[in-house]
């Protein structure tokens, strides 16, 4: 190969290094090749699954041809991609699949060069020229083959840049999704005279499937809700947002339709919303309790969620047992209610299964037995002390192991007797 061609190759390589897209790469290669090779047409096909897609072509009118897709093995271009080897035809009319035959029937030679990274074919460079120009051992063919290596290099660089841009876009979207989800959680916990509240949430991914909330829409009542969507990521977060938005909407209507906020009826309405958006891929466990602040009576309903635990002042534990189907399992599911009498000194503890099912580096679960043992030894803790200490204890056990599931917990401690005079909510 002559020094002139090598110098031109060096200059073209420098120009290619700063090009941002495939169209400009093809134009630069086209200009460089025409200084040494007589070209009629040049096309760039990219490999996608089991097909080749026309990415760009010169002259530019070729980009508007009706045939822009070729299967692997179809014609010279498809065979080049399938076998990862150069294909030469002295006459393009010998290729029934060649896209230019209907519009450029004059006899031309065809050279198809694979653009490959090892065994992986990224695309095919297709060139036409005068008869026999690209015959084996010809100088023109050597020039094309040499330039094709740099086209391959630039395709890899462009793909890398596109992947980086796509990753950055997805990360930005995930951050937005995480911000939207965080907005669903209470900014401030309700303050009531006879209950102290504390909570904690940590998502295992940018967008989690756990949620908890409170409502004081009905006078003399505090509602507490906690849920966990099957799965993780943005789809689970969407189901969570649907459930949270439905609860919020019903809360707004509570002044006019207070009956719809009974736990069982609320679950029935939220179930329909979760079913519409999640079935059959996503369902949600959900627990809701209505606490009558003047008496301490808890009315609750459970849609397949972990049984909440009441930690008595004497250290004994009581599970609030109530079983119903998960939200989203059937559009017309109904839900039973149960009741419990909360006493001064009791702590109602709610959590999602991430607390007991996340593992340490030895793949050991923290487990419900450990949780119960931990709770029973801390009956005198305040709600905030209990949650803070529990978080530290759990993370100590996880020992820097990344969370596999969201971690959520809520604690409500009865710090005063339940009497009709103590039913005022002092801060929302």
Indicate the fold that domain 3-165 takes in CATH: Beta-Lactamase (3.30.450)
What pLDDT sits at residue 424? 47
Task: Give the dihedral sign, CA 313/287/245/237.
Answer: positive
Please tell me the distance from the alpha carbon of residue 378 to that of residue 382, in angstroms, as a whole number: 9
At CA 190, angle to CA 185 and CA 195, rounded to 5? 125
Please tell me the distance from the alpha carbon of residue 253 to that of residue 133, in angstroms, as a whole number: 80
Ranges of the chain whose pLDDT falls below 70? 1-20, 60-67, 101-107, 173-174, 176-177, 252-260, 420-428
**pTM to 2 decimals?**
0.64
Measured from the Cβ of residue 376, the count of other Cβ atoms closer than 10 Å reads 15
CATH architecture of 185-427: 4-Layer Sandwich (3.60)
Residue with tokens 């890398």: 160
Q: Do domains 3-165 and 185-427 have the same CATH topology?
A: no
Closest CA to 197 of 384, 344, 14: 384
Residues 6+ away with beta carbon under 8 Å from 3: none
Residue with tokens 């709610």: 350
CB 342 within 8 Å of CB 297: yes
At CA 11, angle to CA 5 and CA 15, rounded to 5? 135
Closest CA to 306 of 255, 357, 366, 248: 357
424: left (phi over 0), alpha (psi -120 to 50) or beta: beta
Torsion over CA of 66, 69, 71 and 75, rounded to 10 degrees? 50
Q: What's the chain's Rg over C-alpha atoms? A: 34
pLDDT in tens, 310-351: 999 999 999 999 999 999 999 999 999 999 999 999 999 999
* Domains of the chain by residue range: 3-165, 185-427
pLDDT in tens, 97-126: 887 766 556 658 899 999 998 889 999 999
Got the DSSP string for 384-412? Answer: HHHHHHHHHHHHHHHTTPPPSS-EEEEEE
Please tell me the distance from the alpha carbon of residue 213 to that of residue 247, in angstroms, as a whole number: 9
Closest CA to 327 of 376, 388, 278, 265: 278
């Amino acid at each position: 190969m002559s020094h002139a061609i090598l110098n031109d190759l060096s200059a073209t390589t420098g120009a290619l290094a700063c090009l941002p897209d495939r169209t400009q790469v093809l134009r630069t290669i086209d200009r460089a090749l025409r200084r040494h090779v007589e070209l009629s047409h040049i096309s760039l096909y990219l490999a996608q699954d089991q097909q080749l897609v026309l990415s760009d072509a010169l002259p530019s009118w070729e980009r508007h041809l009706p045939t822009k897709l070729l299967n692997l093995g179809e014609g010279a271009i498809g065979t080049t991609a399938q076998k990862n080897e150069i294909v030469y035809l002295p006459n393009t009319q010998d290729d029934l699949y060649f896209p230019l035959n209907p519009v450029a029937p004059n006899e031309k030679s065809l050279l198809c060069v694979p653009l490959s990274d090892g065994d992986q074919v990224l695309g095919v460079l297709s060139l036409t020229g005068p008869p026999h120009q690209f015959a084996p051992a010809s100088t023109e063919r050597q020039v094309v083959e040499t330039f094709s290596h740099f086209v391959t290099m630039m395709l890899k660089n462009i793909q890398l840049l596109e992947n980086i841009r796509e990753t950055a876009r997805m990360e930005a979207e995930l951050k937005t999704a995480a911000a939207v989800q965080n907005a669903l959680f209470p900014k401030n916990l309700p303050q009531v005279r006879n209950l102290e509240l504390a909570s904690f949430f940590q998502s295992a991914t940018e967008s989690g499937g756990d949620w908890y909330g409170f409502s004081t829409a009905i006078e003399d009542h505090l509602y507490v809700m906690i849920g966990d969507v099957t799965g993780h990521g943005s789809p689970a977060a969407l189901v969570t947002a649907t459930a949270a938005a439905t609860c919020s909407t019903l809360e707004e209507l509570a002044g006019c339709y207070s009956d719809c906020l009974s736990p069982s009826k609320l679950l029935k309405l939220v179930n329909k919303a979760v079913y519409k958006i999640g079935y059959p891929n996503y369902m949600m466990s959900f627990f809701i309790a209505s606490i009558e602040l003047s008496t301490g009576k808890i009315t609750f309903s459970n849609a397949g969620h972990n049984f909440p635990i009441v930690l008595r002042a004497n250290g004994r534990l009581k599970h609030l047992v109530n079983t119903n189907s998960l939200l989203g399992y059937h559009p017309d599911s109904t839900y039973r209610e149960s009741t419990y009498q909360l006493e001064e000194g009791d702590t109602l503890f709610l959590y999602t299964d991430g607390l007991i099912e996340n593992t340490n580096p030895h793949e050991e679960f923290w487990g419900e037995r450990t949780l119960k043992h931990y709770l029973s030894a801390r009956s005198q803790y305040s709600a905030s002390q209990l949650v803070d200490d529990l978080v530290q204890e759990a993370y100590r056990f996880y020992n820097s192991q990344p969370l596999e599931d969201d971690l959520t917990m809520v604690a409500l401690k009865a710090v005063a007797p339940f009497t009709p005079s103590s039913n005022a909510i002092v801060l929302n």
